[in-house]
Structure 1
Amino acid sequence: MFRKILLIVSLLIMSTTVWSKAAKEEQTTEALTIYAYDSFTSDWGPGPQIIPLFEEKYGVKVNMVAFGDAGSVLTKIIDEKNNPVADVVIGIDNNLLAKAIKEDVLEPYTPKGLEKIEKSFKGKNRLVPFDYGYFSVVYNSEMIDTPPKSLEDLTDKKYAKSLILMDPRTSSPGLGFLLWTIAEYGDEYLNYWNRLKPSILTITDGWSSGYGLFTQGEASMVLSYTTSPSYHVEYEDTTKYKTVVFDNGNYIQLEGMGIIKDSGNNLNAKHFIDFMLTIEAQNILPLTNYMFPVNGDVVLPKSFDGALKPEKSIELDYDVIAENYDKWLDNWAENSVK
């Protein structure tokens, strides 16, 4: 009899444990809090168009909060990881992924619709891609006749005080450009930055402020994406802003979204990740985020006819970034051109 009672108790404990684990995985609330970067949440960004569609479909109220660039967003969720406020993060890319995994702030998730996705984070299921692009130098063709064709060309004295960059400690494009220089120059990357100094007008904290200065005419070149001129074609009917594919290739950025660990709202978070991969949401990205959507079924608008995809895509391995991330940023800061 005692053995029978003991067996029953054991089964009850096991059942309770399994139920508790399942319940934790499917926790939900009536609201969903999303952290994202500024341009995603801006009036002209994809957030204001995508969020109402999601809210209507799932009956969930979304609270979307912006914290500057993607680097600032990641810093925020790391600061809050012992008591998370947000449920989903948008904008952590292939270059910030190493830091996010090291800090253990994301839950693994494999979403529905992944079979339609053209890009991936190479086996890392903490982030799900939603769009991608290629870093490039965008230039004003009314101010520059002969654009640079390589990173080294940017150091030419004819480009003195002509280039706006972003801080790699706070900006994902800034980090991407730093890693691009490391991919091309290896251990000599700081020497390259020293040669580049005379060409730099300023280094801003984020992409939005840097690109804003560029369009105001403060500089003739800015770090952005090969897709950026499409915005000006679509909304300003101008082709004066152009970009180039460098001879040695351009560095790729794969933007991701993830579920914040221990947020307590897993079910709605999963619904949102799934929704972002649907054709309904992906169709919105080209003319709002001005990146290439990852869903291969999306038909790009005509203004993207001139959006360049380099034949050679540059990217550093995740493990290399993970091992050297802090050292590279510290060395850059010590050699800072700000």
Structure 2
Amino acid sequence: MKRRVFLAIGMGILAAACSPEKKAEQKSPPTEVRLAVHKSFDLPQPLIAKFEQENHAKVNVIKVGGGGELVNKLILSRAKPVADAVFGLDNTTSAKAREAGVLADSQPASAETDAPLYGALAVDYGYVVINYDKAWFAKKRLALPKSLDDLATPAYKDLLAVPSPATSGPGLGFLAANIQAMGEEKALAWWGKMRANGVKITPDWNAAYYTEFSQNGGARPLVVSYATSPAAEVFFSKGKYTEPPTGNLFLQGGVFRQVEGAAVLRGAEQPELAAKLVQYLQNGDVQKAIPEAMWVYPAVKGTPLPPSFKFAEQPQFSNNPSEVDIQAHRQRWVEGWLRVVEK
């Protein structure tokens, strides 16, 4: 009798384990969490897969133009958010996103960082500067410009490509640095001279660097990019270069420290999973991957840098207005710039 009781109990347990409800639970599909990013976002797939496995999730990465376009898209779609979380807010746009009601009131706790960001968790930072093509300048025997004013002279006509501050985070950062150093009136007057001197404006950083820059087959030997771009050129050359073929110009009024971060969006369909994803971008493995994935510095303190970053020269200064000043004056700055440059 006892054996039959045990057998019956065992069969009951087995039946429960094999029940349709249990099978359904075991085979439930992963929960989708949507991450809106700018088009330069590039995190190794194994790291995304690790988050998915650990959280029984499916990360849907939605790329939306440049940094400025990304925030504008989030604002336009705030009634029905296109994502649960965002990566690509920076210190020119995060306050705008927060004041527009795009970000959730409560954000997850942040790790200790070298670069705090208003309203979001800092993930990386870099320096927006002017890059130059070393071979082009050597061939032309043209001296490098020593100031922004030099760039507006005939010797440098048609040489510079800049992403638009109306649609690009780096472009807006560069404009903010100009204004911080020169003052608004003088900075816009300088842009008027640059327009007359043939400056090329592109919608975003990708177009400026990969289409217009002479190092990548374009016609412009000067481009607003990042101080880490020369290190990336060596890394991706696969042994062709042992020294960077490009260099940095650290000109007063032309250096901006850009901080990028992530945040949960208001109205997220999966707010808890979105919070975990935002925090995951500060995870040690992710932070260690960021330098050679997106060619910026990891924001979390103590993260080691790869050997390739020996070519990532850091400026000794930056021309940064505060985030409060950028938020208060950004619209006027951009509208003034548009009147001068795209009239």
TM range, normalised to the smaller chain?
A: 0.7 to 0.9
Q: Which of the numbers 311, 318, 326 marks the counterpart of 1:321?
A: 326
Aligned mates of 2:252, 2:203 — CA distance in 1: 28
RMSD: 1.9
SS at match of 1:192: helix
Q: Which of the numbers 51, 60, 63 marks the counterpart of 1:63?
A: 60
Cα distance, 1:143 vs. partner?
A: 0.8
The aligned residue for residue 141 of structure 1 is 134
Within 5 Å, which residues of 2 pair with 1:286-325?
Answer: 286-325=291-330
- Residues 86-141 of structure 1: CA distance to partner in whole angstroms, max 9, x if unpaired? 001111110112321221110244544512x11102xx3x2111000111111110
The aligned residue for residue 225 of structure 1 is 226
TM-score by length of 1: 0.84
Cα distance, 1:285 vs. partner?
A: 0.7
Aligned mates of 1:35, 1:49 — CA distance in 2: 19
Cα distance, 1:194 vs. partner?
A: 1.3
**Inter-CA distance 168–144: structure 2 relative to 1 (3 Å threshold):** same
Aligned mates of 1:48, 1:161 — CA distance in 2: 39
1:245–1:308 contact (8 Å) kept in structure 2: no
The aligned residue for residue 266 of structure 2 is 261
The aligned residue for residue 280 of structure 1 is 285
SS at match of 1:268: helix
Cα distance, 1:159 vs. partner?
A: 1.2
Aligned mates of 2:261, 2:192 — CA distance in 1: 32
Within 5 Å, which residues of 2 pair with 1:1-80?
Answer: 30-40=31-41, 45-46=42-43, 48-80=45-77
Which structure has the larger Rg?
2
The aligned residue for residue 20 of structure 2 is none
1:249–1:311 contact (8 Å) kept in structure 2: no
TM-score by length of 2: 0.83
The count of residues paired between Structure 1 and Structure 2 equals 302
Task: Name structure 1 gaps, 5 residues minimum.
Answer: 1-28
Q: Which of the numbers 96, 101, 109 marks the counterpart of 2:98?
A: 101
Aligned mates of 1:247, 1:204 — CA distance in 2: 23
The aligned residue for residue 22 of structure 1 is none
Task: Name structure 2 gaps, 5 residues minimum.
Answer: 1-29
Cα distance, 1:205 vs. partner?
A: 0.4
Aligned mates of 1:193, 1:95 — CA distance in 2: 19
**Inter-CA distance 155–317: structure 2 relative to 1 (3 Å threshold):** same
2:148–2:252 contact (8 Å) kept in structure 1: no
Aligned mates of 2:97, 2:158 — CA distance in 1: 35
